[in-house]
Structure 1
Amino acid sequence: VLLINIILTFSTHVFVLSPNKFVQMNLSSVKILRTNHRLFNVSRLSKHTLPDLPYDFNALEPVISSEIMQLHYQKHHNAYVTNLNMIEEKIHDANSKKDISKLIALQSAYKFNAGGHLNHSILWQVMSKDGGAPSKDLLSAIERDFGSMIKMQDQLSTATIGVQGSGWGWLGICPESKKLRIATLPNQDPLEATTGLVPLFGIDVWEHAYYLQYKNVRPDYVKAVWKVANWKEISNRFTKVHN
């Protein structure tokens, strides 16, 4: 019986074990489930891979330069995937040896790299050159919860610009109330596992996401990102939860 937070993994899922809840993660969803705090055996994992980028590196210019996109995808996201696979092997080894101290020691690195992989896999999908407009249902929800599209964008932009250091700004939806919410998180903390909100649209404010082009003027970058918001994908993500 464990009364401490540890991370367990098997197949393509991640499990964060705590005294009160069990968090199950994969690239598409995070579900919070009750557990009886038992240590589960972990089978050998399949490898995580870098997802295909749904457009060319220069597709989001002039908002995001080709150079930034290439470095962001090939170097930074790829590093999260590489490190995630390495850490999962260490978790598998530690679990096979019932080395609880090692499992605990790996928790922070696992959260960081798994979150980085999850967040960026969402990011590439919710941006596009011609993202269109939000669906009628999503626009109605935005107007209900924020007053207008402009007010929602202003609130998310302001919150994201204000992130201290590195992190993310998110538009998410609560699965229970169906309300839209804005949240900011530090580092690579994943939205759903941390807040319970399902991510609809995210803005990455790590400096590698914008510094080569926007220098230290984060507000210009954040405001420009709305020009490449993929409202078709954002609307699809909303519909899956709302319906």
Structure 2
Amino acid sequence: MLFLKSSTATQLWIVLVAVAAATVKAEFKLPNLPYAHKDLEPYISSSTLNVHHGNHHAKYIATLNHLVKGGGRDLKKMSLDEIVVEAHKREDTGLFNNAAQSWNHGFYWKCMKPGGGGEPTGLLLEKIQEHFGSYAQFATEFKNAGNTAFGSGWAWLVYHKAGGALQVTKTIGAGNPMTTPGLVPILCMDVWEHAYYLDYQNKRPEYADTFLEKLVNWDFVADNLKEAMESSGRGEEL
């Protein structure tokens, strides 16, 4: 029988605990908003953010953690992005809905900022003009995607890794473009009613107009575009 000195045994135990901990991912946490609840007023009220972030988003996170805990060791090792894609492949509706909605909302908060909106500048504007003809045409297509998402859903601006193109698309329910290989979301607008109903009631088109004119965080979108281009091997175009 092999006996270890006390100090050696203690060190070995610490290493084993550290390795074991590294293989089990911590629970997903509700991310903090990147601004105060009142900072988007009068366009998005603090009441809306309290309910939307504090109730809806929080519930998706809590349910996701419960599903991951009972979903096997492989899920516990995955990032949120990976779980979204894996759940879609498995056709696991419950897991997908809560994982995708957790991801979508975390992304959506960053797509807005106080004093946002208007036209973007620099490379992002150049790419929008290249692929849509003009910013005005992009805005028309983006708002149309949001306004025609029947029921609840999302409007997206995505980057195609293969062709390097920008495209507007929409998803219904918890849908996320990441489930289509090669598509990278760089902007989204939530058109579930809980995103705007307290402020705009049934006037979704007014909310969509306001989102682009007063709220969208083009700096965040531009960073997403640059990262997507670099990861697809198009860094020389930056």
Report the TM range for the smaller structure's normalisation: 0.7 to 0.9
Q: CA deviation at 1:134?
A: 2.4
Structure 1 residue matching 2:156: 3-state secondary structure = strand
Q: CA deviation at 1:109?
A: 0.6
Equivalent position to 1:238, from 216, 225, 228: 225
Q: CA deviation at 1:195?
A: 5.8
Residue number in structure 2 paired with 1:113: 98
Residue number in structure 2 paired with 1:68: 48
CA RMSD of aligned residues (A): 2.2
Q: CA deviation at 1:201?
A: 1.0
Residue number in structure 1 paired with 2:150: 164
Judged with a 3 Å threshold, the aligned counterparts in structure 2 of structure 1 residues 141 and 92 are, in CA distance, closer, same or farther, namely same
Structure 2 residue matching 1:91: 3-state secondary structure = coil
Question: Which segments of 5 or more consecutive residues in structure 2 lack a partner in the other structure?
Answer: 1-22, 76-86, 230-234
Q: CA deviation at 1:130?
A: 2.4
Q: CA deviation at 1:222?
A: 1.0
TM-score scaled to structure 1, two decimals? 0.75
Judged with a 3 Å threshold, the aligned counterparts in structure 2 of structure 1 residues 217 and 178 are, in CA distance, closer, same or farther, namely same
TM-score scaled to structure 2, two decimals? 0.76
The amino acid that maps onto 1:210 is Y
Q: Say which structure is richer in helix.
A: 2
Structure 2: distance between partners of 1:151 and 1:213: 27
Residue number in structure 2 paired with 1:7: none
Judged with a 3 Å threshold, the aligned counterparts in structure 2 of structure 1 residues 129 and 88 are, in CA distance, closer, same or farther, namely same
Question: Which segments of 5 or more consecutive residues in structure 1 lack a partner in the other structure?
Answer: 1-42, 96-102
Q: CA deviation at 1:54?
A: 0.7
Deviations 1:24-67 (A, max 9, x none): xxxxxxxxxxxxxxxxxxx6442000112110011111111110
Residue number in structure 1 paired with 2:6: none
* Moved beyond 4 Å, runs of 4+: 103-106
The amino acid that maps onto 2:131 is D
Whichever of the two has the greater Rg, that structure is 2
Alignment of 1:1-243 (within 5 A): 44-92=24-72, 107-131=92-116, 134-194=120-180, 196-226=182-212, 227-242=214-229, 243=235
Structure 1 residue matching 2:59: 3-state secondary structure = helix
